[in-house]
A and B are shown apart, each in its own frame.
Chain A
């Protein structure tokens, strides 16, 4: 590739350059720029004290998103505008409406979480979403506060009702475009061909998508990523295409972008995805990354398994499709070869009469890793189940289908007797463990109860809106 191009971006409206691609955005803000309004409370994406807003242009429109600066790497903000709590102040350091309201409702006590809340609230206000309690909870779920009990902060958010969206300064990016970064240790190819070539040439390099998993190294452990290939600037990996039978999602599409599509196509999946990480995490994290991490409790595997999704893998040798069931080959092992890149994930659409439901059970409602996640899909013809998919996360070393239980459902009507038989078969399919989050016995009981609930409370026919 060509000569070095530094990372160029805007920080509170002013242009900045750096070559320190795998430095975290939080370190850059606090240490290099000495803007200390943004806080570090955990350095691992859990607390939201480091929340800043990143603006990028999508189809000519600015999109403002809250992200965790602690696990965002500088390479990721190339061509973007970063706003910190200091950047919200108006002329004469006048407080922004969000800041004024938060002070008025006593939404700040010790104040350490406050700048993060301010930025999440700002992104929320600018998103144009309806100001409802549910949306507010979702928008703020990634911000922890140990003092306030959150009520005054929620009140602040509700008080934001319909503020005119600011015309995020006439040209938010000041004409800044992706600068085709090429600095030591960070490659951001612009074409699939370049990506595949880099992948082949640099076997030791890591692929970086949203860095919500990978960012923990540079952040929490201060262990830099020495050689990174950023997959997110390749158009093919950012596409969402829909045909009459399937939706294809690029591996670098964030959860936040995929969510409205998946919400529309698959009942309950929107609710399920809104409980994956926090909004900050969903604004960066990708399904491709979730598959790349191959965690046994990764939340995308159960619905991908239940939908018989196909993963497209590409290398310089060409591309191939792998059924999701064949993708996970063992504990944290996948079918990815060293020079493979995940390019797209193909999810078949439901057909009329399909029953579908996903559930995630965790200790705390939001921002919590699943104890058990389950996704179920049934195809019913003439009152009989002709195809059953019961997929679980957190119930074995890999995300797993319960095939014996599936067999109990196929062939007859979907009724209590069939479900009882399937529940009885689950222990043969699944092997949960005791850990600090939960016990095996509880997990097994819940796995069965989720299936019962699918029958009683929630088999939402395809095409209907998600159940609340």
Chain B
């Protein structure tokens, strides 16, 4: 089914954003507020000694310098809330907070605080850490095993084993993190850049011994998040709230771009060993995927690197194993397609290598290994549109004309290559509530305490309510990003939309039923006496046969205070199916033979991801996801000094995110699926899917262009231009 982008409602809040009128967190004025700046440890491991704030305190505008000695104790195991003690676990860790009347004064104050340290030994490199098994990997089990992969590998007609590595990445949403904390006795209001209004409300209440109802979290507009405004931001949020309490005044902390390299989480670097066994005709018989990634000295986090390996391709014998090692570095956390992004790079690169071992077209190899059901959990798919993605993507891309031999395509001094990869991402859901109401003016209001990172939540909430009610999109107002609203899902794991959709639809249908019943029972209505089942609502009019009444008139007459319906929805406890979104990515690259420079010239991708609510916005999400794949493949790396343990190059001039000229031509196909069994109203997540498989498709295309197999991300010019 073709989805029409041109008929999609436009982004709900776009008119505000293009005018610069959407108020982001740092722009909301708060009376008599102080500004915070942080003093950071240059050492990756040590103990804070004497802190001399004398010079700073003498500067104009400085109100106070807070260290661990002055801060209230907060008990929160597993996270490093700064200023809770003298121990330093990573370079860039805050060791003092300067409060001042202006941001500039605070910054100057922070630069004048003198801190003495006792240096301690540090583990700075992944290879030096002691591997251990984490409790979980993301939301999945750490290890998995089916069949007998070791024997199958030994007996395989063809087998390969390769090591792949991926770099540390930072999320770098364009909006830096910010919090303004305001105490009023035992009540607390927090304006902050959060992807999780409700989860943060609960956790903050726990930290400060408050009732959750006494904590209000507000996050109306988020300038991107990608994972950096969830759990990784939380410790610094708590630090600022605690500081505000000590100061007895509202306090705002805004991170600098430099601090976003160390205080907002990071995508783990990975070392991944992939072994594949197959028959000569290209049926997978064994997969072993083992990985190692760093975590911090204080917290434990492992990306789900093996999710894709466990389910994407059919294979009877699969073992996956994920290990962590502690290093003196900031705590890693989820970044767009956490695990699935880097994990699929290893798996889908290895599949390409296997295809060359077998001398089999890489797409054909994948077509021979489509999984008829989810072998990992041994359940049927809710649906699996992978075959259709392969077909649609390959046809549009022109894959059939690809010569198998690497280095066969050239244009001037450019080598051209094309490659592909498959993708999948689990369809997660969590509990959500929502309310849909209508006022006497006929305007509909949706209220849901979730947030919009730029992914289109405002739009989708408005659209869902409008469609379920029969009102026009333009008549809907949306309230989100506030913990005073009905409890909504957090924005992560591509699950927000799937979580609130059934709640909004149920509430809207409930409201519709009540409106029709009102009309039926109201003698003053032209529809009096007609059974609700025989009425319909469209464009704000209730109709039955040739009788009709505008909804607004009915509401004004019968419910002048307005009407609201509230509903909740929760995921199935034990579903009897497995739900994933699937996709196929095709990449064309051009490699400069003299300089090794790589440009991605074309990206075609086809996705089967359940019900698509708004094709225009969905396309934007897929393209955004693909760009993250381009960044991961070619540009992005947070470089750590191996001796000092500090980030080398802490600006957006050093950490390269893709720019305009890096943009390929995008060609996106959406295969719409009917998903009656999904309690999400058929919605699967889409935000992550675009970042899965993309880096592998690009690396595979680079191999096809040059004959050089790059197994380490990001691909660097040095990889492709080795001096002779």
8 Å CB contacts to A: which residues of B139-186?
A: 172-176
Q: Determine the residue in chain A with the shortest Cβ distance to B719.
A: A442
Complex CA gap A114/B14 in Å reads 10
Pick from B29, B175, B617, B619: contact of A41, CB under 8 Å: B175
Q: Determine the residue in chain A with the shortest Cβ distance to B723.
A: A445
Are A368 and B656 touching (Cβ within 8 A)?
yes
Q: Determine the residue in chain B with the shortest Cβ distance to A153.
A: B660
Asked if B361 is at the interface of the complex by the 8 Å CB criterion, the answer is no
Asked if A16 is at the interface of the complex by the 8 Å CB criterion, the answer is no
Asked if B298 is at the interface of the complex by the 8 Å CB criterion, the answer is no
Pick from B626, B657, B721: contact of A449, CB under 8 Å: B721
Residues 453-482 of chain B, each 1 if its beta carbon lies under 8 Å from chain A, else 0:
111100000000000000000000000000
B411: chain A residues at CB < 8 Å are: none
Asked if A414 is at the interface of the complex by the 8 Å CB criterion, the answer is no
Are B595 and A118 touching (Cβ within 8 A)?
no
Complex CA gap A36/B254 in Å reads 15
A53 to chain B, nearest CB (A): 13
Asked if B107 is at the interface of the complex by the 8 Å CB criterion, the answer is yes
Asked if A58 is at the interface of the complex by the 8 Å CB criterion, the answer is no
Pick from A110, A220, A450: contact of B256, CB under 8 Å: A220
Complex CA gap A337/B333 in Å reads 52
Asked if A251 is at the interface of the complex by the 8 Å CB criterion, the answer is no
Are A442 and B620 touching (Cβ within 8 A)?
no
Asked if A39 is at the interface of the complex by the 8 Å CB criterion, the answer is yes
Pick from B10, B108, B653: contact of A46, CB under 8 Å: B653
A93: chain B residues at CB < 8 Å are: 19
Greatest chain A CB density within 10 A among B11, B454, B716 is at: B454
Asked if B712 is at the interface of the complex by the 8 Å CB criterion, the answer is no
B620: chain A residues at CB < 8 Å are: 106, 109, 147-149, 152
Residues 650-672 of chain B, each 1 if its beta carbon lies under 8 Å from chain A, else 0:
01111011111111001000000
Complex CA gap A438/B649 in Å reads 13
Are B654 and A436 touching (Cβ within 8 A)?
yes
Are B652 and A111 touching (Cβ within 8 A)?
no
Greatest chain B CB density within 10 A among A110, A222, A457 is at: A110
Take A43-B257, A110-B222, A363-B656 as given contacts and tell me if A436 and B662 are in contact as well, using a CB distance cutoff of 8 Å. no
Are B649 and A85 touching (Cβ within 8 A)?
no
Asked if B596 is at the interface of the complex by the 8 Å CB criterion, the answer is yes
Asked if B594 is at the interface of the complex by the 8 Å CB criterion, the answer is yes
Complex CA gap A268/B13 in Å reads 44
Q: Determine the residue in chain A with the shortest Cβ distance to B626.
A: A149
Pick from A38, A108, A450, A453: contact of B17, CB under 8 Å: A108
Asked if A446 is at the interface of the complex by the 8 Å CB criterion, the answer is yes
Are B20 and A146 touching (Cβ within 8 A)?
no
A136 to chain B, nearest CB (A): 8
Q: Determine the residue in chain B with the shortest Cβ distance to A442.
A: B718
Pick from B103, B257, B724: contact of A42, CB under 8 Å: B257
B546 to chain A, nearest CB (A): 38
Are A144 and B659 touching (Cβ within 8 A)?
yes
Complex CA gap A393/B89 in Å reads 39
Are B624 and A147 touching (Cβ within 8 A)?
yes
A34: chain B residues at CB < 8 Å are: 29
A44: chain B residues at CB < 8 Å are: 257, 651-653
Q: Determine the residue in chain A with the shortest Cβ distance to B614.
A: A106
B594: chain A residues at CB < 8 Å are: 446, 449-450, 452-453
Q: Number of A interface residues, CB 8 Å? A: 79
Are B23 and A154 touching (Cβ within 8 A)?
no
Take A106-B616, A442-B717 as given contacts and tell me if A148 and B623 are in contact as well, using a CB distance cutoff of 8 Å. yes
Residues 32-58 of chain A, each 1 if its beta carbon lies under 8 Å from chain B, else 0:
001111111111101101000000000
Residues 166-205 of chain A, each 1 if its beta carbon lies under 8 Å from chain B, else 0:
0000000000000000000000000000000000000000
Asked if A151 is at the interface of the complex by the 8 Å CB criterion, the answer is yes
Take A47-B652, A436-B648 as given contacts and tell me if A367 and B659 are in contact as well, using a CB distance cutoff of 8 Å. yes
8 Å CB contacts to B: which residues of A96-130?
A: 99-100, 102-104, 106, 108-115, 118
Asked if B15 is at the interface of the complex by the 8 Å CB criterion, the answer is yes
A106: chain B residues at CB < 8 Å are: 10-11, 14, 616-617, 619-620
Pick from B174, B226, B412: contact of A144, CB under 8 Å: B174
Asked if B597 is at the interface of the complex by the 8 Å CB criterion, the answer is yes
Complex CA gap A112/B223 in Å reads 5
Pick from B22, B635, B663: contact of A149, CB under 8 Å: B663
8 Å CB contacts to B: which residues of A44-89?
A: 44, 46-47, 49, 84-86, 89
Asked if A418 is at the interface of the complex by the 8 Å CB criterion, the answer is no
Complex CA gap A108/B597 in Å reads 30
Are B623 and A149 touching (Cβ within 8 A)?
yes
Asked if A398 is at the interface of the complex by the 8 Å CB criterion, the answer is no
Take A144-B652, A363-B656, A364-B662 as given contacts and tell me if A113 and B596 are in contact as well, using a CB distance cutoff of 8 Å. no
Take A365-B659, A453-B413 as given contacts and tell me if A38 and B175 are in contact as well, using a CB distance cutoff of 8 Å. no
A319 to chain B, nearest CB (A): 35
Q: Determine the residue in chain B with the shortest Cβ distance to A86.
A: B20
Asked if B533 is at the interface of the complex by the 8 Å CB criterion, the answer is no
Asked if B613 is at the interface of the complex by the 8 Å CB criterion, the answer is no
Asked if B599 is at the interface of the complex by the 8 Å CB criterion, the answer is yes
Are B19 and A89 touching (Cβ within 8 A)?
yes
8 Å CB contacts to A: which residues of B1-32?
A: 10-11, 13-24, 27, 29
Residues 225-267 of chain B, each 1 if its beta carbon lies under 8 Å from chain A, else 0:
0100000000000000000000000000000111000000000
B18: chain A residues at CB < 8 Å are: 95, 99-100, 102-103, 108, 111, 114-115, 118
Are B657 and A146 touching (Cβ within 8 A)?
yes
Asked if A439 is at the interface of the complex by the 8 Å CB criterion, the answer is yes
Asked if B627 is at the interface of the complex by the 8 Å CB criterion, the answer is yes
Take A118-B20, A363-B717, A444-B723 as given contacts and tell me if A436 and B639 are in contact as well, using a CB distance cutoff of 8 Å. yes
B25 to chain A, nearest CB (A): 11
Are A37 and B717 touching (Cβ within 8 A)?
no
Asked if B69 is at the interface of the complex by the 8 Å CB criterion, the answer is no
Are B639 and A364 touching (Cβ within 8 A)?
no
Are A109 and B256 touching (Cβ within 8 A)?
no
Are B14 and A103 touching (Cβ within 8 A)?
yes
Complex CA gap A263/B453 in Å reads 43
B173: chain A residues at CB < 8 Å are: 110, 112, 146
Take A366-B661, A368-B656, A452-B594 as given contacts and tell me if A112 and B651 are in contact as well, using a CB distance cutoff of 8 Å. no
Asked if B343 is at the interface of the complex by the 8 Å CB criterion, the answer is no
Asked if B111 is at the interface of the complex by the 8 Å CB criterion, the answer is yes
Asked if A336 is at the interface of the complex by the 8 Å CB criterion, the answer is no
Asked if B425 is at the interface of the complex by the 8 Å CB criterion, the answer is no
Take A141-B661, A363-B635 as given contacts and tell me if A438 and B718 are in contact as well, using a CB distance cutoff of 8 Å. yes
Asked if A361 is at the interface of the complex by the 8 Å CB criterion, the answer is yes
B652 to chain A, nearest CB (A): 4
Asked if B377 is at the interface of the complex by the 8 Å CB criterion, the answer is no
Are A109 and B627 touching (Cβ within 8 A)?
no
Residues 593-631 of chain B, each 1 if its beta carbon lies under 8 Å from chain A, else 0:
011110100000000000000001101100110110000
Asked if B224 is at the interface of the complex by the 8 Å CB criterion, the answer is yes
B651: chain A residues at CB < 8 Å are: 42, 44, 46
Asked if A208 is at the interface of the complex by the 8 Å CB criterion, the answer is no
Are B661 and A137 touching (Cβ within 8 A)?
yes
B469 to chain A, nearest CB (A): 24
A46-B653, A111-B16, A149-B626 are known; give 4 further A-B pairs, CB within 8 A: A47-B652, A106-B10, A112-B223, A118-B20
Q: List 9 A-B pairs, minimum CB-CB distance, nearest first.
A: A37-B20, A110-B454, A112-B223, A111-B17, A85-B20, A103-B14, A365-B661, A149-B623, A109-B454
List 25 A-B pairs, Cβ < 8 Å: A35-B20, A37-B19, A37-B21, A39-B174, A103-B15, A108-B18, A109-B224, A109-B624, A110-B175, A110-B224, A118-B18, A136-B660, A140-B660, A223-B108, A363-B716, A365-B662, A436-B639, A436-B648, A442-B723, A445-B722, A449-B594, A449-B721, A452-B594, A457-B412, A457-B413
Question: Which residues of B pack against A, CB within 8 Å?
Answer: 10-11, 13-24, 27, 29, 102-104, 107-108, 111, 172-176, 221-224, 226, 256-258, 412-413, 453-456, 594-597, 599, 616-617, 619-620, 623-624, 626-627, 635, 639, 648-649, 651-654, 656-663, 666, 716-718, 721-724
